[in-house]
A and B are shown apart, each in its own frame.
Chain A
Amino acid sequence: MSDDFLRIDHVSKHFGVVSAVDDAVLSIARGEFFALLGPSGCGKTTLLRMIAGFEHPETGDIFVEGQRITDLPPNLRPSNMVFQSYAIFPHLDVFDNIAYGLRKARLAKTELARRVDEALAMVRLEGFGGRTSDQLSGGQRQRVALARALVKRPKVLLLDEPLGALDKRLREAMQIELRQLQKSVGITFVFVTHDQEEALSMSDRIAVMSGGRILQVASPRELYERPNCREVADFIGEMNFFAAGEIGVAGLAAIRPEKISLSRDSGRMRGAIASVAYLGERSHYGVAVAERAEPIAVAAQNTARNGFAVGDTVWLSWDAESVVVLPD
């Protein structure tokens, strides 16, 4: 993943005294499904809007395929955006919405219709051309927004929390669909979300942001297994943190709940079950341990044998490789 298809070069922006984006450096490859992940206010949307052209960086540059696009207005950029609110034009039907960006090209009527139908088929909305915005469900509107952006065959597709307004089941279905769509179309996707599960399941690589800074850029697996700092470790999935010396490691240590196993007989550390959350195929236990304010989170698969109840004494154990050492 070394071609600098989309390159963000030391980009910064302030709003008043607040630093929205602080010296961001990023290199995204062609055809990558890339996520900008972080809590609200971390700067991910600002960064996305700078790529789209709706915000202008104070310092730094943005390049697409080597071409500097920093000063280009949004309508001249090789990117297209799917907005968080979808921004479907209410005075146009679905066909005209999708065709909107193609009008300038003055295509022949048949060619235009072909392109629009092709886009509709891509998002599985065949036959919806005559509908208007108020006749569409949230999920359908999202797909129209997608089709509208994709029909222009941009070099980069930008998506601003596109699944936020959908209910859980629809969201999960759309995650798979988006991923498949991206693979079939081959366009570079840059995707903003605050939902780390979503980012992990869909992306090739993720940039975790906080307070305007990019904390770590890595594949989902690497982010999960080898976070490079406490913030990333805390944000992605659930994590148990141990102060220096607590488990015999010099420095801040962290272990994932599912990497800790429970036994009635033996282990490295002894504790008592403080809470049980039964989740069907797994249970989440909170284990209270002496000299530790916060219970240790343990995720264990439920088998016929291992049901623990509140108050039970248990032993915790883990592999050495499961321990992640973090800088303070």
Chain B
Amino acid sequence: MRAMARWSVRSLRRSEGARGLALLTPTMAIMLAALAAPMALLALYSFWRQDGYALDHTATLAQYATAIGRETYRALFWRSIAISSVVTAVTVGLAYPMAYFVAFRVEKTKFVWLVLLTIPFWTSYLLRVFAWKLILGYNGVINTGLMSLGLIHQPLTFLLYNPIAVVVTLAHAWAPFAILPIYVSLEKIDRSLLDAAADLGDGPVRRFLRVTLPLSMPGAIGAAVLIFVPTTGDYVTPALVGGSNGVMIANVIEEQFDKVGNWPLGAALALASMAAVGVVTLLFVSAMRAATARIR
């Protein structure tokens, strides 16, 4: 009797899992086809060679050798990582107080603030980057504005076509991505924990450093990763406002597929940069986690 019951429960669970899997199959199949297969092909390409108009399928590490070996490419990797690191630090650093404000200082209008903060995200990214080009340009908004106010007599040239312009533009474009994860993790903090900290002797600053900050770290780290990884591969911003000093790895990759026609090299550059970004991200996340765990 008990054996029968056990069997039927097990088969129920099995069929439950099976039904779930059946529902998942279309989505999984498509995602696998659309993601895994192309990525696998990308990897394959990175081991091949472009021979004139044809592809030489003999396996070779030549592309990686070029990607990692050539000075200019290496410098580009580091510059992309450096720029993204600064963008991430600036964006998360500026977003945290904003998210804190909505989580802790706003009672009834949280919804309004959140909507206001996300609306810019929904406008065309291209146009937002372009707006900065207009703002920072030689005859742009800042320069003509300052000149017409009589504050400067020559347009400022350091505003555009350099890494600083890239950093400012990217920090502006990715701000909403930072705010939401940080806000969610701040909002989740049990307010009675803060009362307890105060009750046990902490003033507002100590309380923030010892309770709020460590508990919101997962959200902040998540925001950082969410911003760092995609910005290393950003194409539009360096292309529009970077000039020749602000070129990033994505621009060079795109070249391989467009003007140069060396797809294998492009593939190798892409995968090598992904690997580098992955390593940096892992190091960053473990370092932050270790640092946070030491807060008592």
Min CB–CB distance A102 → chain B (angstroms): 9
Q: With A75-B202, A89-B211, A91-B215 as known contacts, state yes or no: A103 contacts B195, CB within 8 Å.
A: no
CB distance from A49 to the nearest CB of B (A): 9
Judge whether A148 is part of the interface by a CB distance below 8 angstroms. Answer: yes
Residue of A nearest to B206 (CB): A104
Q: Separation in Å of the B68 CB from the closest CB of chain A?
A: 40
Chain B residues near A90 (CB, 8 Å)? Answer: 193, 215
- Judge whether A152 and B201 touch: CB under 8 Å: yes
* B193: contacting residue among A54, A74, A87, A149, CB under 8 A: A87
The reply to whether B198 and A152 contact each other, CB–CB distance below 8 Å, is no
Q: Does B154 count as interface, using CB distance less than 8 angstroms? A: no
CB pair A75–B203 under 8 Å, yes or no, is yes
Segment of A25-33, A58-66, A92-100 engaged in the interface with chain B: A92-100
**Chain A contacts for B198, CB-based, 8 A:** 53-54, 73-75
B118 → A minimal CB distance (Å):
29
Q: Is the CB of B203 within 8 A of A87?
A: no
Given A85-B192, A87-B192, A91-B214; A99-B199 close (CB under 8 Å): no
Chain B residue, CB-CB nearest to A89: B193
**A20 at interface (Cβ–Cβ under 8 A)?**
no
B200 within 8 A of A: yes
Q: Is the CB of A74 within 8 A of B195?
A: yes
A53 to B202 Cα, complex, angstroms? 13
Residue pair A87, B196 in contact (C-beta under 8 Å): yes
Question: Chain B residues near A101 (CB, 8 Å)?
Answer: 200-201
The B interface, classified by DSSP as helix, strand, loop or mixed, is helix
CB of B258 closer than 8 Å to a CB of A = no
Distance in angstroms between the alpha carbons of A80 and B292 in the assembled complex:
27
Contact size range, B: 20 to 34
Contacts of A54 in B (CB 8 A): 195, 198
**A92-B296, A103-B296 known; A152-B200 Cβ under 8 A:** yes
Q: For A99, give the chain B residue with the smallest CB separation.
A: B296
Known pairs A73-B203, A104-B201; A83 contacts B195 (CB<8 A): yes
CA gap between A319 and B151 in the complex, in Å: 99
User: B73 CB to closest chain A CB, in angstroms?
Assistant: 42
Instruction: Tell yes or no: A120 within 8 A of B by CB.
Output: no
B190, B214, B295, B296: which has the most chain A beta carbons within 10 Å?
B296
How far apart are B26's CB and chain A's nearest CB, in angstroms?
36
Q: Could you say which residues of chain A place their CB within 8 Å of the CB of B193? A: 87, 89-90
Task: Give chain A's interface residues, CB within 8 Å of chain B.
Answer: 52-54, 73-75, 77, 79-81, 83-85, 87, 89-92, 96, 99-101, 103-104, 148-149, 152
19 inter-chain pairs at a CB distance below 8 angstroms, sorted by A residue, are: A53-B198, A73-B198, A75-B198, A75-B200, A75-B201, A75-B202, A75-B203, A80-B200, A83-B196, A89-B197, A90-B215, A91-B295, A96-B296, A100-B200, A100-B296, A101-B200, A101-B201, A148-B200, A149-B200
B interface residues with partner A (beta carbon < 8 Å): 190, 192-193, 195-203, 206, 210-211, 214-215, 292, 295-296
